[in-house]
């Protein structure tokens, strides 16, 4: 499966065959590949279609009394980018707030050119944005770490919104069972995050258009305005956090965890038995290790009341 | 009494698209609506609020599924994951029929998320019809294919759009979702008479009709679904209903969505045209 958009050289070589006829499934596929290549090619800075797509347009599309072949194909080229940019724009308000509108535009253009949609649903459009940003952090400079944290949180939010719920295990189901034999899974909609910045508060503020956030942590004066003045992250300090992104009653929540809670849950998620997951606390010698077993039991009571655990 | 063998649901009446801004109104006020059309892909998820809302809607209303990314006309193979999720949703909604577009939109597993026009050739019709049959056999509900609005025509085309639509539905032995707004938009963009289109499709295959608004630009018309239905489209709808008989009709309003009552009021205007034909004999 091709993962990148067709290069201009591959397009030129295809045009030589001039697939004007569509007399077979193969020729239909050739025409569609040619047209899709032009449609998915990034727009010029002025928002038009690249001139290099003119041979494709002339080869496959008729002109009419009002529009040239180029102009007719350009309508689809623009529609493609407006649609997918609009979608990812809506899905990543936090990232927009972190890096600003212009950098966001450049980042998502580069991302979508590298990773065009491979899903029938636009819901998955940003699935590989974290991977892309990890490989090419320059697009978020100088806020790479903050941007990376935010992208992970925003994807976790999408997962929490509509991933499956499996039958939950209740605390009573665990009573009397041998902890060395209990393996629990977390619900598919839960993501555990270890982040370096308080991106949970940042994202909530971004979604609510908090003016304080804009002055403090973003260049986004007005999210829908193209021209915004740059405001530095003067006051935003790193603050390591552990978060469980989950949902209850169809509402997504960002629940803060202690480091000990995070490690127990992560160990369970990775397949450890209940006994081994809790042994993490003893090894760390942290505050929880000194706490009574009742403390840990209280955690599990809360987590099971949220319905977080299911069968592995 | 069914109007034709592809339209067993003539009494479905006038539906509207189920859209997020109206969820609260619908769930709390429970307005009387003949049926809702859902975009299948919006509910092909594994859990969470989309399915919770859908289940609440299903308790009160009839729901028909309308897809936007099956891409019957794409040369590549059908996406199995897509089909499985679609079938699961069909079982959930018990949709009496399923519609998607006569278009293409994916190449080599990459999706444009657009409804791209077909080259109107016999080979393309054959490929498309095979996929319609395959989808119908898999999901096990009747299929209606919808004509799209378009802004480009291909050198390769060998026939008119309505001839191509007719060829596909005959080969696939399926129904038609006749979008009269799309016909109007394309007729202006490609300079044909929209009545030639409506007059010449196989009327006995029309299972559903779409109406919608559009936007006029200097050199072309764009299918934007962000306005009330314009007069020329209502006139075309009147002609279509005269020809195909009483048929389930749906108003699409997808952008700049006004209040639920405004959308519903606009949709119900279709009733005056349906009422007019109740005691008429459809012309040949």
Residue of B nearest to A120 (CA): B69
User: A150 with A98: CB under 8 angstroms?
Assistant: yes
φ/ψ of A105, rounded to 5, equals -60, -45
User: CA–CA separation, B195 vs A65, rounded Å?
Assistant: 21
Task: Verify whether the Cβ–Cβ distance A25 to B49 is below 8 Å.
Answer: no
Q: Kindly list the structural domains of chain A, giving each domain's residue range(s) and its CATH number in brackets, ordered by start.
A: 8-160 (no CATH), 164-197+239-311 (3.90.930)
φ/ψ of A245, rounded to 5, equals -95, 115
- Block residue for tokens 């009160």: B60
The residue that leads in pLDDT, A9 or A177, is A177
Q: What is the mean pLDDT of residues A225-237?
A: 48
Tens of pLDDT, residue by residue over A185-225, are 999 999 999 999 999 999 998 887 644 443 333 332 333 33
Of A61, A67, A188, Cβ closest to residue B219: A67
User: CA–CA separation, A110 vs A5, rounded Å?
Assistant: 11
Interface membership of A121 toward B (CB under 8 Å): yes
Q: Are strands B143-146 and B98-101 parallel, antiparallel or unpaired?
A: parallel
Q: CA dihedral defined by A127, A128, A133, A136, rounded to 10 degrees? A: -160
On whether residue B242 sits in a domain, the answer given is yes
Cβ-Cβ contacts under 8 Å, A114 against chain B? none
Tell the burial category of A149 from Cβ atoms under 10 Å away from its Cβ (0-12, 13-18, 19+). Answer: buried
Interface membership of A186 toward B (CB under 8 Å): no
Task: Please check the confidence at residue A248 and state whether its pLDDT lies above 80.
Answer: yes
**How close are the terminal C-alpha atoms of chain B, in Å?**
20
Name all contacts of A47-55 with Cβ < 8 Å and 24+ positions apart: A47/A78, A48/A74, A48/A78, A49/A73, A49/A74, A49/A77, A49/A78, A52/A8, A52/A11, A53/A11, A53/A77, A55/A12, A55/A15
B43 Cβ contact partners less than 8 Å away, ≥ 6 residues apart: B50, B51, B54, B89, B93
On whether residue B284 sits in a domain, the answer given is no
Q: What is the mean pLDDT of residues A256-277?
A: 94
Domain total in chain B: 1
Domain of residue B199: give its range.
10-277
User: B52 with B80: CB under 8 angstroms?
Assistant: no
The per-residue b/e assignment along A10-47, b for 16 or more CB within 10 angstroms, e otherwise, is ebeebeeeebeebeeeebbbbbbbbbbbbbbbebeeee
Give percent of chain A above pLDDT 90: 71
User: B78 with B123: CB under 8 angstroms?
Assistant: no
What's the pTM?
0.89
Report which of A223, A221, A222, A217 is spatially closest to residue A199, judged by C-alpha positions: A217
On whether residue B169 sits in a domain, the answer given is yes
On whether residue B3 sits in a domain, the answer given is no
The DSSP bridge partners found for residue B146 are B101, B177
User: CA–CA separation, A142 vs A219, rounded Å?
Assistant: 13
Per-residue pLDDT of chain B (284 residues; tens, 9 = 90+): 455 667 767 789 999 999 999 999 999 999 999 999 999 999 999 999 999 999 999 999 999 999 999 999 999 999 999 999 999 999 999 999 999 999 999 999 999 999 999 999 999 999 999 999 999 999 999 999 999 999 999 999 999 999 999 999 999 999 999 999 999 999 999 999 999 999 999 999 999 999 999 999 999 999 999 999 999 999 999 999 999 999 999 999 999 999 999 999 999 999 999 998 875 654 54
Residue B142 belongs to domain with CATH number: 3.20.20.150
Q: What integer pLDDT is reported at residue A230 of this predicted model?
A: 38
Q: What integer pLDDT is reported at residue A72 of this predicted model?
A: 98
Cβ-Cβ contacts under 8 Å, A23 against chain B? 121-123
The residue that leads in pLDDT, B283 or A4, is B283
Task: Verify whether the Cβ–Cβ distance A31 to B46 is below 8 Å.
Answer: no
Q: What's the DSSP call for residue B230?
A: P
- Measure in Å the smallest separation between the Cα of B49 and chain A Cα atoms: 5
On whether residue B282 sits in a domain, the answer given is no
Tens of pLDDT, residue by residue over B109-156, are 999 999 999 999 999 999 999 999 999 999 999 999 999 999 999 999
A191 Cβ contact partners less than 8 Å away, ≥ 6 residues apart: A152, A155, A156, A159, A160, A244, A245
Report which of B210, B212, B273, B264 is spatially closest to residue B245, judged by C-alpha positions: B273
A6 Cβ contact partners less than 8 Å away, ≥ 6 residues apart: A14, A33, A37
User: CA–CA separation, B36 vs B12, rounded Å?
Assistant: 10
Tens of pLDDT, residue by residue over B89-103, are 999 999 999 999 999
User: CA–CA separation, B28 vs B15, rounded Å?
Assistant: 19
User: B40 with B83: CB under 8 angstroms?
Assistant: no
Q: What integer pLDDT is reported at residue A293 of this predicted model?
A: 77
Tens of pLDDT, residue by residue over A21-63, are 899 999 999 999 999 999 999 999 999 999 999 999 999 999 9
On whether residue B1 sits in a domain, the answer given is no
For the record, the structure tokens of A282 come out as: 């003893």
The residue that leads in pLDDT, B35 or A17, is B35
Residue spans of beta strands (DSSP E) within chain A: 184-186, 191-195, 241-248, 251-257, 309-311
Task: Verify whether the Cβ–Cβ distance A120 to B111 is below 8 Å.
Answer: yes
Task: Please check the confidence at residue A141 and state whether its pLDDT lies above 80.
Answer: yes
User: A177 with A259: CB under 8 angstroms?
Assistant: no
Question: Which positions 67-86 of A are in contact with B (Cβ < 8 Å)?
Answer: 67, 69, 71-73, 75-76, 79-80, 83-84
Best residue in A15, A28, A161 for a mutation probing chain B (most B CBs within 10 Å): A28
Cβ-Cβ contacts under 8 Å, B151 against chain A? 67, 72, 75-76
On whether residue B283 sits in a domain, the answer given is no
Q: What integer pLDDT is reported at residue A218 of this predicted model?
A: 32
User: CA–CA separation, A195 vs A262, rounded Å?
Assistant: 12
A32 Cβ contact partners less than 8 Å away, ≥ 6 residues apart: B74, B75, B104, B107, B116
On whether residue B237 sits in a domain, the answer given is yes
Q: Which helix H or strand E contains A300, and what residues bound it?
A: helix A293-305
């Amino acid at each position: 499966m091709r993962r990148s958009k067709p290069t201009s050289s591959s397009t030129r070589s295809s045009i030589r065959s001039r697939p004007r006829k569509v007399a077979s499934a193969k020729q239909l596929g050739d025409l569609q590949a040619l047209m899709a290549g032009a449609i998915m090619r990034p727009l010029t800075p002025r928002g038009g279609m690249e001139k290099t797509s003119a041979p494709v347009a002339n080869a496959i599309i008729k002109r009419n009394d009002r529009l040239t072949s180029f102009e007719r194909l350009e309508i689809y080229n623009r529609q493609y980018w407006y649609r997918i940019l609009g979608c990812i724009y809506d899905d990543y308000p936090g990232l927009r707030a972190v890096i600003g509108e212009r950098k966001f535009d450049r980042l998502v253009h580069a991302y979508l050119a590298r990773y065009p949609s491979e899903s029938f649903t636009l819901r998955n459009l940003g699935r590989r944005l974290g991977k892309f940003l990890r490989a090419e952090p320059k697009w978020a400079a100088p806020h790479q770490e903050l941007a990376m944290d935010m992208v992970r949180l925003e994807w976790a939010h999408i997962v929490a919104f509509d991933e499956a719920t499996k039958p939950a295990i209740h605390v009573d189901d665990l009573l009397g069972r041998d902890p060395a034999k209990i393996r629990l899974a977390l619900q598919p909609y839960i993501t555990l995050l270890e982040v370096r910045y308080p991106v949970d508060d940042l994202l909530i503020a971004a979604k609510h258009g908090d003016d304080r956030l804009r002055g403090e942590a973003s260049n986004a004066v007005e999210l829908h305005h193209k021209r915004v003045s740059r405001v530095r992250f003067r006051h935003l300090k790193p603050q390591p956090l552990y978060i469980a992104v989950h949902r209850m009653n169809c509402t997504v929540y960002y629940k803060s965890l202690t480091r000990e809670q995070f490690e127990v849950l992560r160990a369970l998620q990775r397949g450890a038995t209940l006994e081994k997951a809790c042994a993490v606390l003893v090894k760390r010698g942290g505050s929880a290790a000194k706490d009574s077993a009742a403390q840990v039991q209280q955690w599990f009571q809360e987590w099971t009341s949220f319905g977080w655990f299911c069968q592995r | 009494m069914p109007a034709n063998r592809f339209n067993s649901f003539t009494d479905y009446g006038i539906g509207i698209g189920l859209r997020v801004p109206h969820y609260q109104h619908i769930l709390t006020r429970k307005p009387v609506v003949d049926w809702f059309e859902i975009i299948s892909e919006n509910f092909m998820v594994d859990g969470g609020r989309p399915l919770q809302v859908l289940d609440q809607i299903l308790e009160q209303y009839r729901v028909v599924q309308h897809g936007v990314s099956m891409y019957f006309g794409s040369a590549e193979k059908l996406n199995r994951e897509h089909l499985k999720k679609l079938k699961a949703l069909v079982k959930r909604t018990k949709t009496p029929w399923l519609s998607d577009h006569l278009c293409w939109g994916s190449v080599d597993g990459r999706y444009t998320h657009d409804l791209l026009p077909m080259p109107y050739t016999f080979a393309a019709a054959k490929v498309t019809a095979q996929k319609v049959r395959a989808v119908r056999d898999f999901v096990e509900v009747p299929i209606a294919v919808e004509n799209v609005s378009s802004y480009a025509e291909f050198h390769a085309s060998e026939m008119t759009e309505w001839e191509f639509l007719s060829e596909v539905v005959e080969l696939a032995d399926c129904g038609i979702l006749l979008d009269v707004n799309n016909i109007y938009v394309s007729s202006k963009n490609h300079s044909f008479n929209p009545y030639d289109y409506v007059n010449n499709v196989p009327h006995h295959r029309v299972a559903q009709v779409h109406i919608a608004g559009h936007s006029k630009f200097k050199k072309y018309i764009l299918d934007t679904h962000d306005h009330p239905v314009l007069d020329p489209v209502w006139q075309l709808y009147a002609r279509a209903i005269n020809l195909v008989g009483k048929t389930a009709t749906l108003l699409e309003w997808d952008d700049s969505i006004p209040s639920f009552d405004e959308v519903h009021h606009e949709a119900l205007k279709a009733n005056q045209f349906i009422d007019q034909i109740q005691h008429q004999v459809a012309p040949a």
